[in-house]
Amino acid sequence: MSGMSAYYISRAVISAALGFLLVLAGFHWWMAMLVGAIVFGLFLWAPRSGRYAVHPEFGVTALRRDEHTQAINDKAARNAFIITMLAIAGIAIYFGSTAPASVPVAMVQYVLILGALIYFVSDLFLRRS
The model's pTM: 0.66
**Confidence band for 97, pLDDT divided at 50, 70 and 90:** confident
Write the pLDDT tens digit of every residue in 28-85: 999 999 999 999 999 999 888 777 888 888 888 888 888 888 898 999 999 999 999 9
| Calpha distance 54→65 (Å, rounded) | 9
Mean pLDDT of the chain: 89
What is the rounded CA–CA span in Å between residue 69 and residue 75? Answer: 10
Give how far Cα 3 sits from Cα of 21, 47, 51, 59, 62, Å: 29, 12, 19, 7, 9
First-to-final CA distance of the chain: 35
The pLDDT of residue 105 is above 90: no
Domain chopping of the chain, boundaries: 5-64, 67-128
Q: Which amino acid is at 31?
A: M
Beta-strand (E) ranges in the chain? 53-54, 63-64
